[in-house]
Chain A
C-alpha cells in the first residue's frame, strides 16, 4: 500500500554531498509519495535526523565534515534515533566497506551507480511496505 493511501507519507532523509545523487534519489522515490528531506553531510544529517525523526535515512559514506559511518554510529548511539533504519548508498562496494557499514549500524547497503529498482525494493522492504 502506498504511503499516500494511508494518509501518512513516510519521511525519508537523504544524506549526500552530491547534488547529482540527491536528484537521482528524488527521481526514484518521489513517485512513491514519500516526504523527502535532504542533508549535505554527515553532521547535517545527524541534526536533521534528531529534529525531523525520519522513518528512514539514505546515507552516503564519503562526505565532508562527517562521513557516513561516523554519522551512522552517532545515530545508533542516541536513544531518539537508534531505531531509525539506515541504508548506506555509496560507491564503496568492497567487502571491507560493506562490513564497516554494517558494523557502524546500517540496516542495508546499496552501491552506486544506483539501480532504481534495487533501491526502491530495499526502501520498501526496510519500511515494511
Chain B
C-alpha cells in the first residue's frame, strides 16, 4: 500500500468515526426529545383529568328567566282553562235550552197532528153524510162514522115517530138486546137528550137507571131546532179509553149534518116515490 493510500485510508476512518460520533449524538438528543414529549403529554393528561370543566358564563340569571317564563306560561294556561270552563258552561246551558225547545216543538208537532186528525175526521164525516141521498147509504154512513171514527161497534139510530112523542129504532149494529125498540121523549138519558136537543155524554151526569149504564153518548139529530132523531153510542171499543175532544166535534157534526142528510134522503125518497 503506498504512502498516499495509507493516508487516504486513515483519512476515511477518521471521517467515518466523526460521522458515527455525530450520529450517535443526534440519536441521543432525539431520544431525550421523545422522552420529554411523552412526559409533557402525560402531565397534560393528568392535569386535564384533575381540573373540572369551567361553568358557562352567567348561569344563575338564565335559570331565573326560565322560572319566570314557566310561571307566565302557567298563568296563560290557567286563564285558557278558565275560559274553556266558561265556554263549556255556556254550551251546556245552550244544550239544555235546545232540548227544552225540542221537547216543546215535539209537543207542538203532536198537537198539530192531533188537530189534523180531528179536522180529517170532520171532513170525512161530512163527505160521507152528504155523499148520498139514499137513505140506506146515509144510515150506513152514520154507522160507519161511529164505528170507525169514534170507536164503538154498538150503535143505534132512532127517528122520531110520525106522531111525535117517541123515538123508534130504525137502524142498529151490535145492539141486539141492548137498545130498546122505542123510547119515549124525556125517558131515560136517550129520551131526555132527544127532548132537550142536547148531546149526552156518559160521565157528564149520572145515568137514570141500569138500562142506561152502557150508553156512552146520545146525539140528538137536530134540524132547524127540531129533533128528528138520535144516534146512541153504547159501549166503546175495549182499547178506547173514553170520549175525547175529537169525538165531541164529531158528535156536533153528526147532530147537525146527520139530521140534514137523513132529511134529504127522506125528501129524495118521497120525490122518487111521487
List residues of A whose CB falls within 8 A of some B CB. 18-21, 23-24, 27-28, 91, 93-94, 111-117
Neighbouring B residues of A114 by C-beta, 8 Å = 117, 148
By a CB distance below 8 angstroms, the chain A residues around B114 are 117
Determine whether the beta carbon of B124 is less than 8 Å from that of A111: no
Question: How far apart sit A128 and B153, CA to CA, in the bound complex (Å)?
Answer: 34
Task: Say whether A116 contacts B116, CB under 8 Å.
Answer: yes
Contact A19 B128 (CB under 8 A): yes
The answer to whether B144 has its CB under 8 Å from any CB of chain A is yes
Bound form: Cα–Cα A111–B148 in Å: 10
- Asked if B110 is at the interface of the complex by the 8 Å CB criterion, the answer is yes
Indicate whether B216 reaches chain A with its CB closer than 8 angstroms: no
- B128–A23 CB distance below 8 A: yes
**Which residues of the other chain, B, contact A24 by a CB distance below 8 angstroms?**
120-121, 124, 148-149
Contact B120 A27 (CB under 8 A): yes
Q: Does B16 contact A (CB under 8 A)?
A: no
- A116 B113 Cβ-Cβ under 8 A: yes
* B239 interface residue (CB < 8 Å to A): yes
Min CB distance A55 to B, Å, is 23
Chain A residues lying within 8 Å of B121, measured Cβ to Cβ, are: 24, 113
Q: How many B residues, CB 8 Å from partner?
A: 26
A residues near B131, Cβ cutoff 8 Å: 19
- What secondary structure prevails in chain B residues at the interface with A? helix
24 contacts between A and B (CB under 8 A): A18-B144, A20-B125, A20-B128, A20-B148, A20-B149, A21-B144, A27-B123, A28-B120, A91-B148, A91-B153, A91-B237, A93-B237, A93-B238, A93-B240, A94-B238, A112-B147, A112-B148, A112-B237, A113-B151, A113-B240, A116-B116, A116-B117, A116-B120, A117-B110
With known contacts A112-B148, A116-B117, A117-B113, A20–B153 Cβ distance under 8 A: no
Q: Is B150 an interface residue (CB 8 A)?
A: yes
User: Would you call B120 and A20 a contact (CB within 8 A)?
Assistant: no
Which residues from chain B contact A28 at a C-beta distance below 8 Å? 120
CA distance in complex: A94, B150 (Å) = 17
Closest chain-B Cβ to A62's Cβ sits at a distance in Å of 9
Would you give the shortest CB distance from A40 to chain B, in whole angstroms?
13
Closest 4 CB pairs of A and B: A93-B239, A117-B113, A20-B144, A116-B117
Q: Residues of A contacting B124 with CB < 8 Å? A: 20, 23-24, 27
Q: Is B255 an interface residue (CB 8 A)?
A: no
Contact B148 A21 (CB under 8 A): yes
Contact B147 A23 (CB under 8 A): no
Please pick, from A21, A23, A112, the residue contacting B151 in the complex, using a CB distance under 8 A. Answer: A112
Complex interface: chain B residues within 8 A of A116 (CB): 113, 116-117, 120
* Extra A-B contacts (18), CB below 8 Å, given A18-B148, A113-B240, A117-B114: A20-B124, A20-B148, A23-B128, A24-B124, A27-B123, A28-B120, A91-B147, A91-B237, A93-B237, A111-B237, A111-B239, A112-B151, A113-B148, A113-B149, A113-B150, A114-B148, A115-B117, A117-B113
Closest to A91 in B: B237
Q: Which of A20, A27, A112 contacts B141 (CB 8 A)?
A: A20
Closest Cβ of chain A to B233, distance in Å, is: 12
